[in-house]
Amino acid sequence: MRKMLLWMIVVTFAISSPVQAKLRVFACEPEWGSLLAELAGDAITVDVATSALQDVHVVEARPSLIAKMRQADLLVCSGAQLEIGWLPQLLMQAGNAKVSSGAGNFMAASQVMTLEKPASVDRSAGDVHPDGNPHVQLDPYRVLAISKALAARLAELDAANAATYQQRLGDFEARWQAAIKVWEAKAAPLKGKAVVVHHSSWIYLLQWLGMHEIGSLEPKPGVPPTSAHLSSLVDVTKSGAAIAIISAAYQDSKPGEWLSGRTGVPALVLPFTVGGDDQARDLFGLYDSTLDKLLGVLK
């Protein structure tokens, strides 16, 4: 009888004290999935919609993504209309009001000042983002600012774990600032160097490193390279003393290789985001790999 009574007490306590479910986060890009891992660890569950080998401009609103979005408590994306081609449709089909707007909707680019913000938008100019260039993950100082805003948002939505988010933010901030000092000292030889890019997605990296872009394989942003345009870049690439022709892991390497074959300038594939190569397993590895590859063409 006593055992039965004890069992009933335990069951009653379990029913009246449910375990709080983990905050569920839907991250559009791998870099934000990695940042969430730094800030929250096992305190949250994260679903990442895309990979480094996928063009984030073009994503199919698959049933699996709809299901994950429907379950999310927080949406974390680059924003600045980077995901305009698929995210609105995904949100509509998921019907999750929690992440459509308000505290459950976090856009990284909205937390910092964006570059290349046009005075006006003309679609004839190509894939131009009216809110500025959205690829903010390639500037470590902007990543730091975004990390602070994201930790605050996590704490707002999940007050029970606020201390955890604050502690992990402090740890990340210390390691990140130390890494920036190492990266900047290491990257000093890159200052003033020129590159040709595949797509206009490298401005934050180039500005941080003091480098500059002298040409793009795309005649207009988002418009595939053409033979005539590539031919026009041969003299530009040579006369501009470019050290590399840069593309991201998800992009077609053939246009860069064609230009490289006619100029002698190395065609360089950079990870662009977490998972872009074996070294870029997290945000720290992303920067390590990027700098190692850029410095490698100087040797």
Average pLDDT over residues 240-267: 97
* Same domain for 172 and 219: no
Backbone angles phi, psi at 24, to 5 degrees: -110, 125
Return the CATH number at 269.
3.40.50.1980
Please indicate, yes or no, whether residues 171 and 216 belong to a single structural domain of this protein.
Answer: no
Residues 36 and 155 in one domain: yes
Last residue of a domain, one of 131, 153, 182: 182
Residue 282 in this model has a pLDDT that exceeds 90: yes
Please give the residue range of the domain that contains residue 27.
23-182
pLDDT at residue 121, as a whole number? 67
Q: Tell me, yes or no, whether 164 and 64 share the same domain.
A: yes
What residue type is 100 in one-letter code? Answer: S
CB neighbours of residue 17 within 10 Å: 8
One domain for residues 282 and 165 = no
Q: Which residue has the higher pLDDT, 18 or 145?
A: 145
Examine the domain organization and report whether 95 and 165 are in the same domain.
yes
Mean pLDDT of the chain: 92
Last residue of a domain, one of 157, 182, 207: 182
- Asked if the model's pLDDT at residue 2 lies above 80, the reply is no
At 220-241, the pLDDT tens digits run 998 999 999 999 999 999 999 9
**What is the widest separation between alpha-carbon atoms in the chain?**
92
43: CB partners within 8 A, 6+ apart: 22, 23, 158, 161, 164, 165
What pLDDT does 21 receive?
86
pLDDT (tens digit per residue) in 261-271 = 999 999 999 99
Give me the pLDDT at residue 299, please: 81
Most confident among 4-18, 24-38, 120-134 (mean pLDDT): 24-38
Same domain, 132 and 203: no
Please, which residues have CB within 8 angstroms of residue 29's CB and are 6 or more apart in sequence? 48, 49, 50, 56, 77, 78, 137, 273
Q: How confident is the model at residue 120 (pLDDT cuts 50, 70, 90)?
A: low
